[in-house]
Chains A and B, each alone.
Chain A
Amino acid sequence: MSTETLDPVVVKQPAEPLFSKRRRKFIADPLSDDNPVTVQVLGICSALAVTVKMEPTLIMAISVVFVIVFSNLMISLLSNLIPGRVRIIVQLAVIATFVTLISEVLKAYNYEMYKVLGAFVGLIITNCIVMGRLEAFAMANKPWDSVLDGLGSGFGYAWVILTVAFFRELLGSGSIFNIQIYDSSLMPTNGLFVDSIGAFMVLGILIWIQRTKSGYVEQ
């Protein structure tokens, strides 16, 4: 008589869909409840100086999304290979590489914007959002998840700075994307909106509105 043991039935888990609910949250959360700029207080540095007009802001937003997504992807892929002690250095090196790439491409194909953005393209390296996401997420998560998280944070940052730029350009220069809407010399803003002061005001009010909507209170 042979004793047969039944092999435990193994149910193969279906692979998580590319845009499962969990994954959709990676993109959705930073857009509102967990916005990197207004809630997490990251990435503000560059948000002010470049938002004078919408065109450079758009280029900046695209650049930042590019850097976050690809840095997240790269670090996530390499996360097992990075020794703990040199973690920060490797992260900085990866970020700096992608920023240099974007900067060189900009210099070659859109020299106007390269001149307008100037040093701020380089400052993406020190943009707290990029480093923040690498440390908080990409080091410990899978590549595709990291890409999604990068997209979420990137877009979260993008919509905030584009909104600030919208108001600054409209009220400060009277135009949108350089299309003149009205004669700005008629509006007595005294050049404040074009200056960083206008940016502070608009951003402050934007944060107020956004946090009131999402109910986040800073202690």
Chain B
Amino acid sequence: MTIIIGGVLSLTSQVLGPAQKKSIELDTKSQILGAVMQLNKKQDDVLGIYNQRIISLVVDYTGTPIVKDRKGNPIIPEDVNVIRNFKLAKENRELPVYKFMNAENPDKVEAYILPLYGNGLWNKIYGFIALEEDFNTVKGISFGHVQETPGLGARISDLEIQNRYKGKTIFEGDELVSIEMLKGEKRDPSLFGPHEVDGMSGATLTANGVNAMLKDYLDCYKGYIEKTKNQR
């Protein structure tokens, strides 16, 4: 009987394997592209767009590209386990960078998309931030969460909240100050400086989690940002 069960399950796994890989790939890649464009997973050719416009690589804390993963195999940026790396000290993390290339001019970088991961109020939060070529202005941001409160912390997945980050800057001169989501919700955009966004009423703790996540990860990529700027 063991043989039959083993056989049935192996067969299923083989048959369904490709479909599963595709599902996971689709999921990861739409999340990445979600930082810079509005996608409909069912209608748009996510994988096609991704292949055409994204060049991905992995760097370490100093900004040096990493070519091999910890087991010695060639590293695949989309497969880097962000969760596992989050638990490591910043100096030891594998940091994927997704370069979003211009549609007309495939050699020009339109945006740098960087993954984010952190602690929300109840459970984990994650997302992607897209920085313009100047590494300063935010082109877009996308957030996801595991279990924040609907109507409160869960609003970070809403477009309205994510759009608040567009156009904000992360550097003040040469200092990386990140962007802070303030406490309380005032709804008047003119009140906020270039490094601040309006908060979410009743969801201060989730907002704090977002702020910590941004600061943490932007700090990780500082090495890469400086190296790339110096090479220009």
Q: Which of B1-9, B85-93, B98-106, B173-181 contacts the other chain?
A: B1-9
The B interface, classified by DSSP as helix, strand, loop or mixed, is helix
Interface residues of B in 112-143 (CB under 8 A from A): none
Complex interface: chain B residues within 8 A of A173 (CB): 150-151
Task: Give the distance in Å from the alpha carbon of A115 to the alpha carbon of B145 in the complex.
Answer: 12
Is residue B23 contacting chain A, with contact meaning CB distance below 8 A?
yes
A112 → B minimal CB distance (Å): 8
Whether the pair B8, A97 counts as a contact (CB closer than 8 A) is yes
Whether the pair A104, B149 counts as a contact (CB closer than 8 A) is no
Is residue B20 contacting chain A, with contact meaning CB distance below 8 A?
yes
Whether the pair A97, B149 counts as a contact (CB closer than 8 A) is no
Q: Which of B11-19, B58-66, B76-84, B216-224 contacts the other chain?
A: B11-19
Whether the pair B150, A108 counts as a contact (CB closer than 8 A) is no
A124 → B minimal CB distance (Å): 16
The one of B1, B5, B12, B24 that contacts A111, using a Cβ cutoff of 8 Å? B24
Whether the pair B19, A194 counts as a contact (CB closer than 8 A) is no
Q: 7 tightest CB-CB pairs across the interface, nearest first?
A: A108-B19, A111-B23, A191-B149, A185-B151, A108-B16, A108-B20, A173-B150
Which residues of A does B touch, CB under 8 Å?
A: 90, 93, 97, 100-101, 104-105, 107-109, 111-112, 114-115, 172-174, 184-185, 191, 194
Q: List 19 A-B contacts (CB under 8 A).
A: A90-B1, A93-B1, A93-B2, A93-B5, A97-B9, A101-B8, A101-B9, A104-B12, A107-B20, A108-B20, A109-B23, A111-B23, A172-B150, A173-B150, A174-B151, A184-B150, A191-B149, A191-B150, A194-B149
